[in-house]
Amino acid sequence: MFAQIKRILVGRPIATEHQHQERLNKVTALAVFSSDALSSVSYATEAILTILVLGGSVALGLSLPIAVAIAMLLLIVGFSYRQTIHAYPQGGGSYIVTRDNLGDLPGLIAASALLIDYVLTVAVSISAGVAAITSLATNWGFPGVRDYAVEIALLCILVVTIANLRGAKESGLIFSVPTYAFIASILSIIVVGVSQDLLFGVEPVRHSIDPDIPPVGETLSLWLILRAFAAGCTALTGIEAISDGVQAFKAPEARNASITLTWMIGLLVTMFLGITWLADAHRAVPNEFTHETIVSQIARTIFGIGPVYVFIQIATALILVLAANTAFADFPRLASFLARDRFLPRQFASRGDRLVFSNGILVLGLFSALLVIIFQANEIAMLPLYAVGVFTSFTLSQSGMVRRHLRLRQPGWTRSAIINGFGATLTSIVLVILMITKFVHGAWMVILTIPVLVMMFRGINLHYQRVAEQLSLSGAVVPPELRRHTAIVLISGIHRGVLPALQYARSIAPDNVTAVYVDLDPEATEKLRKRWQDWGCGIPLVVLESPFRSLINPIVRYIEEVETRYGDDVITVILPEFVPARWWEHLLHNQTGILIKTALRLRGTVVTSVPYRLR
């Protein structure tokens, strides 16, 4: 039954030989790799304003300077990643670059930071996508849709999880349409909005319920500015995607990837600055009553609630779903690398029926759903957790690159080392700012989780090492021929299902079989003794006492006794088991067989099941 449900949801298995890699041209690659980065335009400005509004309406004017600072950071980090692309044309994810150059521990820290960030990418992107849709619904006169934000978000995660378990072939078209629709949307808002502003001046956004802006809020401290800057750094999430996937480009891979990265950074900076400019000009502010997004506020003010506005909102929601989908490719792949290196259970390294890393996909779906529930699908509330992971992995991988340049000293290494070194320094400073300003607002969770994950990775690795040592054949000797068999048949009564097991036992240990029965009810025991004379096949019956009605303890004690008596023999415990024909019928029979088998397996006893099938 489970198998059928799985088939319907996930589809038929796919043969291994169909594993293949489609090479992408630059236009398609931009769509495939940049959805995560570009989609942050839909919430980064809002993140800055959410903090600045605490300083009252005066503070809001600082949004543009802060955005410019973040845009500079973006350019520097982007430039730094171009170095990585050229150095690791086979794909240089932070885990690989860091572990390669700085060693295991930094590599694992980068991996933990990334895994956490992928979970957050799904939760944040899906929540932001839902916010785009609920903003649209509110402006159409259905503000009640917002009450179902969590349910809608969970449904989206479910759909994306199932789609990824099916491993639908990622056609370039599916990515290109929403990504370019989003780029076109945002650029048209900016072109129309900025021209209006420069030519005629603009009106402020009107709200159905006015947001509550303190006329004079907290003093406009450096602390508030740093917090707003830190909040806006979420604009940098996802820009490492291209350097992870250089191999997916058409030849020359590195060159094409590098050009695509430059385009992506250029678009991202333009869109982020443009939206922040317009938010400032239209005095858009986060509205805690309607939960309308900043982009929605600007778009409807410029274009009115018509088809263009609808198009923009839908394009925004779609690119955000794509961004979440990207994490569903990245998380399982990173988990499979970790499993291959024996830092995660090996179940993460094996491809499922449909050639995808099913376990990684399921774990990601589960944890992101959990985050959505905890944070009630409020992406702004999740942002303080976000970005810490990204900047940790930026800093580590850039530092790794510096180390690499110093080690290899390839032509032009000084220039490259300076670029990466500058990037690493800058991102490490920002990381410290992020950790300090966001700590109490949620970043502490990430900062605590990273060492826990690292310890887990090392514990797992240690276990696998110890197992490998113990199972190694070096120095092993072929064990001696087995002397003689002793068989113990465990019975819970005498019926047709027992007879084949008794015969089996006699055939492997003709001279040394006993049947063992645990006495739980004197009456039943007496009945068994009588019938044993007819049906026991001449095998001696041993009845064990069990004052506490336990089955396992008396059996284990008896086996220990036999082991002492026949030290050289191999002892085989034989279990007759009747097998119901239908799955639910298994529930109607005591599952003690399973418990006994588990207990015996743990103590290293050979156990043979002799099944008897029922109709």
Residues within window 573-612 making contact with a second copy, judged by CB under 8 A: 577-580, 585, 587-590, 597, 601-612
- Minimum gap (Å) between residue 345 Cβ and a second copy: 5
CA distances 237 to 16, 38, 149, 234, 391, Å, are 34, 9, 23, 6, 9
* Residue 465 engages a second copy in binding (rule: CB under 8 A): no
Q: Determine which residue in the list 6, 206, 250, 346 makes contact with a second copy, applying CB under 8 A.
A: 346
- Minimum gap (Å) between residue 462 Cβ and a second copy: 10
Query: Judged by CB under 8 A, which stretch of 74-82, 134-142, 176-184, 339-347 contacts a second copy?
Result: 339-347
Q: Determine which residue in the list 460, 543, 544, 571 makes contact with a second copy, applying CB under 8 A.
A: 460
Q: What is the DSSP string of 4-57?
A: HHHHHHH-S---GGG-----B-HHHHHHHHHHHHHHTHHHHHHHHHHHHGGGHH
β-pairing verdict for 485-491 and 606-613: unpaired
CA gap 35, 180 in Å, rounded: 10
* Residue 159 engages a second copy in binding (rule: CB under 8 A): no
- Minimum gap (Å) between residue 448 Cβ and a second copy: 21
Closest to 316 in 3D by CA, of 25, 28, 46, 64: 46
Residue 577 backbone phi and psi in degrees, to 5: -135, 125
* Residue 455 engages a second copy in binding (rule: CB under 8 A): no
C-beta closer to a second copy: residue 146 or 485? 485
CA gap 232, 63 in Å, rounded: 9
- Minimum gap (Å) between residue 479 Cβ and a second copy: 5
C-beta closer to a second copy: residue 173 or 587? 587
Is residue 496 classed exposed, middle or buried when 0-12, 13-18 and 19+ CB atoms within 10 A define those classes? Answer: exposed
Q: Convert 129-165 into a string of H (helix), E (strand) and C (coil).
A: HHHHHHHHHHHCCCHHHHHHHHHHHHHHHHHHHHHHH
Residue 494 backbone phi and psi in degrees, to 5: -125, 120
CA gap 421, 431 in Å, rounded: 15
- Minimum gap (Å) between residue 482 Cβ and a second copy: 4
C-beta closer to a second copy: residue 415 or 589? 589
Is residue 209 classed exposed, middle or buried when 0-12, 13-18 and 19+ CB atoms within 10 A define those classes? Answer: exposed
- Minimum gap (Å) between residue 20 Cβ and a second copy: 15
C-beta closer to a second copy: residue 203 or 585? 585
C-beta closer to a second copy: residue 250 or 466? 466
Q: Determine which residue in the list 25, 208, 347, 410 makes contact with a second copy, applying CB under 8 A.
A: 347
Closest to 261 in 3D by CA, of 273, 249, 272: 249
Q: Determine which residue in the list 4, 21, 90, 470 makes contact with a second copy, applying CB under 8 A.
A: 470
Q: How many residues bind a second copy (CB under 8 A)?
A: 72
C-beta closer to a second copy: residue 199 or 602? 602
Q: Which residues within the stretch 475-504 sit at the binding site for a second copy (CB under 8 A)?
A: 476, 478-479, 481-482, 485, 494-497, 499-500, 503-504
Q: Which residues within the stretch 507-566 sit at the binding site for a second copy (CB under 8 A)?
A: 507-508, 531, 535, 537, 547-550
- Minimum gap (Å) between residue 578 Cβ and a second copy: 6
C-beta closer to a second copy: residue 13 or 144? 13
Q: Which residues within the stretch 4-63 sit at the binding site for a second copy (CB under 8 A)?
A: 13-17
Q: Is 610 helix (H, G, I), strand (E, B) or coil?
A: strand
Residues pairing with 24 in the sheet: 249
Say if residues 77 and 423 touch (Cβ distance below 8 Å).
yes
- Minimum gap (Å) between residue 294 Cβ and a second copy: 37
Say if residues 298 and 282 touch (Cβ distance below 8 Å).
yes
Q: Determine which residue in the list 4, 473, 533, 564 makes contact with a second copy, applying CB under 8 A.
A: 473
C-beta closer to a second copy: residue 170 or 519? 519
Residue 249 backbone phi and psi in degrees, to 5: -80, 155
- Minimum gap (Å) between residue 24 Cβ and a second copy: 26
CB half-sphere exposure, 264, CA atoms < 13 A: 37
C-beta closer to a second copy: residue 409 or 589? 589
Name the strand (E) or helix (H) holding 203: none
Query: Judged by CB under 8 A, which stretch of 248-256, 351-359, 360-368, 378-386 contacts a second copy?
Result: 351-359
- Minimum gap (Å) between residue 537 Cβ and a second copy: 6
